[in-house]
Amino acid sequence: MAMAKIIDGKKIAEELLKSVRADAEKLNAEGTKPCLAVIIAGENPASKVYVRNKKLTCERVGIRSLEFALPEETTQAELLALVEKLNNDPSVHGILCQHPLPGHLDERKVFDAISPSKDVDAFHPITVGRVVIGNAALLPCTPAGVMEMLRHEGISVPGKRCVVIGRSNIVGKPMALMLLAADGTVTVCHSKTVNLKELTLQADILVCAAGIRGLVTADMIKPGAAVIDVSINRDGEGKLCGDVDFNAALNVAGAITPVPGGVGPMTIAMLMRNTILSCKLQVTGCNLG
Ligand code: NAD
């Protein structure tokens, strides 16, 4: 059997960022500088890397970025006051609060406080509801990035058996909803699923987002399937890897995303696209609340 096509997320993301940059330039020329505000609380090293990458990408595409790095001991009230201030600031078009927050803070309350018009991570219940209904303007970045990859690679979804491993609010659940909206026949697997292999073997499109290295072995993949590995884990040597046994899966899958260089870059590109979209909507006076 032929080797799987390796889907180059970095390259697809670069193409997306080019069009984002053109949009940002146009908005700028018309007198609006698109602006993303990023809130980070505490000292989580992975969060710091993500926030830094988001900031650098903003700079590259001509989006102004504001970073609010709050100390570990920040209170819920202080955090909510900052969100309120950013909600009311017309020069800010997108707001995101980097997940996870320190344990004493209620992340859900913060996501709920972000104005739906500026909800570029798409975590607000109104935005989530629109994703369920299938008419959201702002889509959750990681699953939207996966859909964009499938589109780019010409992998059609209608009628396909899609299996999503993971049911988190950030990845698994919205991923399943978006595949469903695209007319896939969707199965969601999670930590209590019995006989995962029996289900994954049916998948024409397999999205892996459990965050467990080595969970998906080559014998769990249907020959020719598209395998999208969302997870970011570390292997024994500290190198980044996903859930899928990548090298072995290459001999079975039809197409596969690497980690790193797969879904990760797409997520940031979709965040930039959402920021431009929320900026455009605000300029035209469209209120998503
Ligand atoms: P999470 O821990 O919130 O969710 C993991 C999900 O996997 C849960 O729903 C759980 O039920 C399921 N699960 C756990 N063990 C399982 C098992 N043995 N079999 C089947 N399902 C099982 O994590 P998350 O926030 O959804 O993130 C998932 C992974 O994706 C993480 O590795 C995270 O780092 C990565 N991630 C990557 C990006 C990106 O841009 N590439 C973005 C967000 C998250």
101-126 pLDDT, tens digit each: 999 999 999 999 999 999 999 999 99
Q: What span, in angstroms and rounded, lies between the C-alpha atoms of 119 and 274?
A: 9
Nearest atom (ligand 1) to Cα of 210: 7
**What is the model's pLDDT at position 288?**
83
Name the band, by pLDDT with cuts 50, 70 and 90, for residue 2: confident
168-208 pLDDT, tens digit each: 999 999 999 999 999 999 999 999 999 999 999 999 999 99
Q: What span, in angstroms and rounded, lies between the C-alpha atoms of 229 and 163?
A: 12
Give the Å distance between the CA of 143 and the centre of ligand 1.
Answer: 12
Q: What span, in angstroms and rounded, lies between the C-alpha atoms of 153 and 7?
A: 8
Give the Å distance between the CA of 16 and the centre of ligand 1.
Answer: 25
Name the band, by pLDDT with cuts 50, 70 and 90, for residue 282: very high
224-265 pLDDT, tens digit each: 999 999 999 999 999 999 999 999 999 999 999 999 999 999
Nearest CA to ligand 1 atom 39: 264
**What is the model's pLDDT at position 238?**
94
Over residues 257-285, the mean pLDDT reads 97
Q: Which of 123, 170, 173, 244 to mutate to test the pocket of ligand 1 (most atoms within 8 A of CB)?
A: 170
User: Are 178 and 170 in contact, with CB atoms under 8 Å apart?
Assistant: no
**What is the model's pLDDT at position 209?**
98
Nearest CA to ligand 1 atom 19: 191
129-160 pLDDT, tens digit each: 999 999 899 999 999 999 999 999 999 999 99
Give the Å distance between the CA of 242 and the centre of ligand 1.
Answer: 10
The structure tokens listed for 244 are 């899928």
**What is the model's pLDDT at position 1?**
63
Q: Is 102 in the pocket of ligand 1 (CB under 6 A)?
A: no
Active site residues: 54, 98, 121
Q: Which of 47, 123, 190 to mutate to test the pocket of ligand 1 (most atoms within 8 A of CB)?
A: 190
**What is the model's pLDDT at position 108?**
96
**What is the model's pLDDT at position 285?**
87
pLDDT over 80 at 161, yes or no: yes
Give the Å distance between the CA of 183 and the centre of ligand 1.
Answer: 23
**What is the model's pLDDT at position 289?**
76
Does the predicted TM-score (pTM) go above 0.85?
yes
**Nearest residue to 175 (alpha-carbon basis) of 222, 122, 212:** 122
86-97 pLDDT, tens digit each: 999 999 999 999
